[in-house]
Amino acid sequence: MTTLTLVFLLALALFPAVVGLAGSRAAADAARYLPPVAATVLLTTFAVTVSVAVETMLSLSAYLGTVDLFPAAHPHDWSTPILRATLPIPHAAGLATGALAVILLGRTGVHLIRVVVGARRTAAAAAALPAVGGLAIVDDTAAHAYAVPGRNRRVVVSTGILRLLTGPQRRALLAHEQAHLRHHHHRYAQLTRLAAAANPLTALIAPAVDHAIERWADAAAVRAVGDPSTVAHALGRAALGRPAAPPHRPGAAHDHPHGLGAAHDHVVDRVHDLLDPLLRQTRAGVLLAVATMLCWASTAAVVLYIHGVIELAEATVAR
């Protein structure tokens, strides 16, 4: 392998990590300036793609860097010297990337278990609440409202938030929460958090997706009531009435991250967007789509090249 080829292969291998870091830093702007549906889908796809690509690169580096240290880990019809000569990854690098890959996979597994357990607990608590037509009202002075997905999906609202809102604002509230259920917003949120567990470089994408999801539900509420100012006022009242750290109650608002008054860091932006919509920009969406495709392309190129090297090592033994 020439030095130029090795450098090019290294650049391809590092590309997903570099692009993931850059995309994570630009995620907040994408969530605000792109249409909410596009922002949610593109950011989620990008986060998952980067995480899969980085984990793939780490695993390949670990395997190729330690292939001669663990003979039982590869078939005997390979020429290990040819493989090592063609892809001279240092043992230290192979061991380090292997350890990192295992750690990240472990983080992903732990996060997945926590998500499943938490979702079951929240669903069970919400299912125990009396509901009519998918709406459960809890006697609670704290202002909160949230949607619980799953088999017994429902919207849970407190008497506290109902007292704060007018009739039209209540309709906006219910339309907002029902949009979360109808469009399966929890899946996007969970996928981006799972991607962040697998690759911390994408950690900033999860809150950006939360912002985009809330804007998506806000838009659905506007369509339902026909007045952006009604939704904006409902959002402001819900945010002001919702305690920063409510005590734990079965099925309480903090068990689910999305609600009309959730995502406090984005309330001002969301209200501003409702009352004075920003000029939408498509450039960020195009860049995200291109970066996602290039991540897949770079990963495929590295995998195909390594596959070719392995075939060469097999052919050498066959001769």
Max Cα–Cα distance, the chain, nearest Å: 82
In angstroms, rounded to a whole number, what is the distance separating the alpha carbons of residues 37 and 16?
24
End-to-end CA distance of the chain: 21
The residue to which tokens 């009519």 are assigned = 132
- How far is the C-alpha of 143 from the C-alpha of 156, rounded, in Å? 11
Residue 249 pLDDT exceeds 70: no
Work out the percent of the chain whose per-residue pLDDT is above 70: 88
More reliable by pLDDT, 12 or 77: 12
With vertex at residue 303, the alpha carbon angle to CA 302 and CA 305, rounded to the nearest 5 degrees, is 65
* pLDDT tier, 252 (very low <50, low <70, confident <90, very high otherwise): very low
Per DSSP, the three-state class of 28 is: helix
pLDDT digits (tens, 9 = 90+) for 46-68: 999 999 999 999 999 998 888 87
Lowest-confidence region among 60-69, 182-191, 300-309: 60-69
Tens digit of pLDDT for each residue in 123-155? 888 778 888 888 999 898 888 888 888 888 889
- pLDDT tens digits, one per residue of 272-296: 889 888 777 788 889 999 999 999 9
232 class by beta-carbon count within 10 Å (0-12 exposed, 13-18 middle, 19+ buried): buried
| pLDDT tens digits for range 113-130 | 998 898 888 888 877 888
Considering Cα of 265, then 271, then 272, then 273, what sign does the dihedral take? positive
Helix axes 283-318, 3-33, angle to 10 degrees: 150
